[in-house]
Amino acid sequence: MNKNCIVIGSGFSSLSAACYLAKGGWDVSIYEKNNTVGGRASQFIKEGFTFDMGPSWYWMPDIFDKFFADFNKQTSDYYQLDKLSPAYKIFFSDDIITIGDSMDKICVEFERIEPGSSKALKKFIAQAQENYDIAINKVVLRPGLSPLELVTKETILKVDQFFKTISSQVRKSFKNPKLVSTLEFPVLFLGAKPSNTPSFYNFMNFADFGLGTWHPKGGMYKVIKAMESLAKELGVKIHTNAPIEKIQVTNGKATGVTCNGKTINADVVLSGADYHHSESLLDEKYQQYSQSYWDKKVFAPSSLLFYIGLDTKLKNVEHHNLFFDTNFELHAKEIYDSPKWPTNPLFYANFPSITDASMSPEGCETAFFLVPIATALEDTEALRSQYFDLIMDRFEKRTGQDIRKNIIFKETFCVKDFVERYNSYKGNAYGMANTLTQTAFLRPNLRSKKVVDLYFTGQLTVPGPGVPPALISGKLVSELIIKDN
């Protein structure tokens, strides 16, 4: 008789783990508290407008390819993938940088900004590519159980890059502040200040410039639907509107869960929900990490999000747009060093209907705006409204168009919603930052140290935040479960 596993949550990592376990012969059941699968990668549809509520960047396509290939599938079996050209635009106060879909185009743009910089860029990206190969094929494929996992002949040669920072490395090669900001931007996906992120993580720059930015037709939720379809093909049972109230433990062993007042037994319990919340489902004596542990950790930002339907097409913008027309370092300080609502925030604007007509009604535009903010901030409608006006003023000025009169509807999402919808600790949006002291074996463990047959996956554990790491996290924990059983 097959062993069975209950998986809590249905985000990327949970779906990934469920697929691998089912392939390994396990009976798997997913329990999702919300009414649709996807976790933070949910979808919102209104009046013909389609929004990805969470992740909207498709980077590192090789990781998605490898995931589906593990099941003898291809991404094209489930969704159409298009490379964006250009990848994105960055708006500064006095200029706009366009990141093309090839290194040649990006080098031309760097030369325009800082003559001679393309030579330094090629060298920087070549090193980033080396790091990417080591990270993806060596480091992130290890379950974070021991510091020795980081010791390979490749990482030994790169050891200094774990003690230098992205910021120092970038500034050593590039002087123009716009180019510095452009190269520091990808580590924001890792949820930490560039000055606190090991320079080894410049592999994200290769993911950006080397591998490009892609778009699944219909949005990122198409990837979730693909994984849901694959899971069901493999026999995984998925239950929605099924919040877990307690993880059952008998004599130090996980034996099941309580859901909607009913106890469901299992041989193994795996939680892909927020790690802090998952531990709150246990009696205190079975919790591995104290409140003081969580309070000392550096969390990636929360976000203020706006989902807007516009009755017009936009001009002077691309699918992805970054507004860096204010002080990058001040905003970072107001997220990490002295947390407060930002004085003048950077923000991100996403208009998927520019390249994908299926995302909005004809002649209209689907608009998604994101402001990174510190976690655990006061969250009121007045503050949301204040910051909407603040970023709209800048957006309209920098792009030369008045769009407020074209708004059909506007929905907002912020700290309180992250807590309520995703049980997110302090309302974090991206999990725990990848600082040196929160890397690999120094992150919360995939396997409980106090409860047998209890495991965790997702962005607060190994290997870290982001969609591709979430896919890998699911694979790592499934391998651990199969090995242990």
10 Å CB burial of residue 243 (0-12, 13-18, 19+) is: middle
Helix, strand or coil, per DSSP, at residue 272: coil
b/e sequence 143-172, b meaning 16+ C-beta within 10 Å = bbeeeebbeeeebeebeebeeebbbebbbe
Q: Answer yes or no: do 232 and 287 share one domain.
A: yes
Give CA–CA dist 40/37, Å, rounded: 9
Residue 56 in domain:
no
Residue 47 in domain:
no
Give CA–CA dist 207/136, Å, rounded: 11
Which two tokens mark 239?
């239950």
Residue 248 in domain:
yes
Contact by Cβ (8 Å): 137, 60? no
DSSP 316: S
Q: Answer yes or no: do 198 and 246 share one domain.
A: no
Selection from 118, 55, 63, 109 nearest residue 86 by Cα: 109
Give CA–CA dist 290/288, Å, rounded: 7
Crossing angle of helices 166-173/117-134, nearest 10°?
150
Note every long-range contact of 467-471, with CB atoms under 8 Å and residues 24 or more positions apart, other chains counting.
467/12, 467/41, 467/55, 467/58, 467/59, 467/220, 467/223, 468/59, 468/60, 468/63, 468/64, 469/140, 470/11, 470/12, 470/13, 470/16, 471/12, 471/13, 471/16, 471/63, 471/64, 471/67
Helix, strand or coil, per DSSP, at residue 28: strand
Identify the pLDDT of residue 189: 52
Identify the pLDDT of residue 336: 87
Contact by Cβ (8 Å): 89, 96? yes
Q: Answer yes or no: do 142 and 125 share one domain.
A: yes
Identify the pLDDT of residue 311: 98
Q: Which of 210, 242, 270 is the last residue of a domain?
A: 210
Residue 425 in domain:
no
Q: What residues in the chain have per-residue pLDDT under 70?
A: 139, 141, 144-163, 187-192
Residue 330 in domain:
yes
Identify the pLDDT of residue 117: 97
Contact by Cβ (8 Å): 213, 58? yes
Give CA–CA dist 311/364, Å, rounded: 5
Interstrand relation of 268-271 and 302-310 (parallel, antiparallel or unpaired): unpaired
Identify the residue whose tokens are 């008045």.
Answer: 402
DSSP string of 99-113? E-SSHHHHHHHHHHH
CATH of the domain at 8: 3.50.50.60
Give CA–CA dist 265/428, Å, rounded: 31
Q: Answer yes or no: do 306 and 284 share one domain.
A: no
Number of domains the chain contains: 3
Give CA–CA dist 332/444, Å, rounded: 25
Contact by Cβ (8 Å): 78, 222? yes
Give CA–CA dist 469/480, Å, rounded: 16
Interstrand relation of 43-46 and 268-271 (parallel, antiparallel or unpaired): unpaired
Identify the pLDDT of residue 157: 46
Q: Which of 210, 245, 267 is the last residue of a domain?
A: 210
| Chain-centroid distance, C-alpha 22 | 25
Q: Which of 210, 245, 262 is the last residue of a domain?
A: 210
What residue numbers bound the domain in which 147 lies? 107-210
Selection from 214, 161, 172, 165 nearest residue 55 by Cα: 214
CATH of the domain at 143: 1.10.405
Which two tokens mark 204?
């994200």
Residue 406 in domain:
yes
| pTM of model > 0.85 | yes
Residue 478 in domain:
yes
Residue 426 in domain:
no
